[in-house]
Amino acid sequence: MVKVGIVGGTGYTGVELLRLLAQHPEAHLEVITSRKEAGMAVSDMFPNLRGRVNLKFQDPAEAPLHQCDVVFFATPNGVAMLQAKTLVDAGVKVIDLAADFRFKDIPLWEKWYGMQHACPELAAEAVYALPEINRSEISGARVIANPGCYPTAVQLGFMPLIDAGAIELKGLVADCKSGVSGAGRKAEVAALFSEASDNFKAYGVAGHRHLPEIEQGLSRRAGVPVGLVFVPHLTPLIRGIHATLYARLTKEVDLQALYEQHYANEYFVDVLPSGRHPETRSVRSANFCRLAVHRPQGGDTVVILSVIDNLVKGAAGQAVQNMNILFGLPEATGLQQIPILP
């Protein structure tokens, strides 16, 4: 059994980790921390976990995290980088669901996240862990940088075309929509029901923190810098990301066959039949990405539709997928939940 600790177990990604790990046949929850809720039973805060998680939240300063095999950080940006080195030195694997270890360019990270990086040496060795792209690097890592939600949907959508050398790399467009849970479990006016319901808006058009992360991943894959316009939107959904991606073709290619072959052996990526349109509800509460590829009017523009659950494949589910790889478990272990309808 893999002994698991979670730092920051009271947010949306924290409770999603708890839900998934409580059902995982090879994981044993040892420690869950929360400075504010220390001493409270987990099931008192999250009644859906009654009978499945019998732990209490512990103060992170006192919790025996060093006794775990792996520790997940479901914390705000800037927290994991302060604690990860002590755990890694004790032989504990670290999986960070925030952005502390996603960038190799530390000055770029500091620019976008507005703080000084406390642990650049671990950022240098951390593996940016999108399994469908760099599975082999993940298995031997000490520090896992779990990708962001938008970056997961966008990179999985563009990757087959980049690998095929079939698109113009300077004119990529990612028009993306997210549910309100992407903003986290905190009191914020923009996330109030009366503010977010019956409304649709763009945000971060001038620059969003996920832009350089996406550019970094796509550029690495392409071997040259890419040009990307990324516009996120807030939708009146709780869960879900829908990414509509645009690129200009540079050569003739059977798009449907390209995508089906590229992801033929990927359990968590589902390429829909030609002409279909994936829906966010088709991945709700599950670790799947569903894709569809279109060529409107047979022109030179390709449109890719990519949907994920931002809390699962976009966060906690992908983190558990990475844990499975780290510990040599079948990748789908504990992650075979069927999406919820309606």
How far apart are alpha carbons 292 and 174 in whole angstroms?
15
Token output for 138: 């993940």
* Cis preceding-peptide flag for 342 (omega within 30 of 0): yes
CB distance 94 to 71 below 8 Å: yes
Q: What are phi and psi of 21, to 5 degrees?
A: -70, -30
pLDDT tens-digit map of 214-238: 999 999 999 999 999 999 999 999 9
Coil, strand or helix at 126: coil
CA 169 to chain centre: 23
DSSP string, 190-221: GGSHHHHTT--EE--TT--THHHHHHHHHHHH
Residue among 81, 311, 307, 283 nearest 183 (CA)? 311
β-bridge partners, 289? 269
Q: Is the dihedral of CA 188, 194, 196, 197 positive or negative?
A: positive
Mean pLDDT of the chain: 96
Which residues are designated catalytic?
A: 149
Looking at per-residue pLDDT, the higher value among 194 and 296 belongs to: 296
Looking at per-residue pLDDT, the higher value among 189 and 157 belongs to: 157
Coil, strand or helix at 253: coil
The answer to pTM > 0.75 is yes
pLDDT tens-digit map of 15-70: 999 999 999 999 999 999 999 999 999 999 999 999 999 999 999 989 999 999 99
pLDDT tens-digit map of 179-212: 999 988 877 888 888 888 999 999 999 999 999 9
How far apart are alpha carbons 211 and 174 in whole angstroms?
10
What does DSSP say about strands 241-248 and 289-294: parallel, antiparallel, or unpaired? unpaired
What's residue 161's pLDDT? 98
Q: What are phi and psi of 274, to 5 degrees?
A: -55, 135
Q: Which domains does the chain have, with CATH numbers?
A: 2-125 (3.40.50.720), 150-310 (3.30.360.10)
At 107, the pLDDT band (50, 70, 90 cuts) reads very high
